[in-house]
Amino acid sequence: MYLELFGQMKKQLGQLQTWLDLAGKHAEDKKFDPNLFLSFRLAPDQFAFARQVQIACDTAKNGVKYMTGKDVPAHADNEQTLAELEDRVGSVIKILDGVTAKDLEGAATRSVSQPRWEGKWMPGHAYFLEHVVPNFFFHVTHTYALLRHNGVNLGKKDYLGPIERRDPPAP
Strands (E), the chain: 111-112, 122-123
For all residues of the chain together, what is the average pLDDT? 94
Is residue 68 a contact partner of residue 104, using CB atoms and an 8 Å limit? yes
**At 9, is the pLDDT very low, low, confident or very high (cuts 50, 70, 90)?**
very high
Q: What does the buried/exposed string (b/e) look like for 99-126 if buried means 16 or more CB atoms within 10 Å of the residue's CB?
A: beeebbeebbebebeeeeeeeeebebbe
Paired residues of 33 in beta bridges = none
Q: Which residues does 41 contact at the CB level (< 8 Å), separation at least 6?
A: 47, 48, 49, 146
Q: Is the pLDDT of residue 34 over 90?
A: yes
When pLDDT is averaged across residues 13-33 and rounded to a whole number, the result is: 96
Q: Quote the CA–CA distance of 126 and 130 in Å, as a whole number.
A: 5
Phi, psi of 112 (to 5 degrees): -120, 130
When pLDDT is averaged across residues 27-55 and rounded to a whole number, the result is: 96
Task: Go through the domains of the chain in sequence order and give each one's CATH number.
Answer: 2-29+47-160 (1.20.120.450)
- Closest by alpha carbon to 114, among 154, 73, 79, 63? 63
**At 147, is the pLDDT very low, low, confident or very high (cuts 50, 70, 90)?**
very high
User: What is the pTM for the complete model shown?
Assistant: 0.93
**At 124, is the pLDDT very low, low, confident or very high (cuts 50, 70, 90)?**
confident
Q: Which residues does 133 contact at the CB level (< 8 Å), separation at least 6?
A: 5
When pLDDT is averaged across residues 148-154 and rounded to a whole number, the result is: 95
Is residue 151 a contact partner of residue 30, using CB atoms and an 8 Å limit? yes
Paired residues of 163 in beta bridges = none
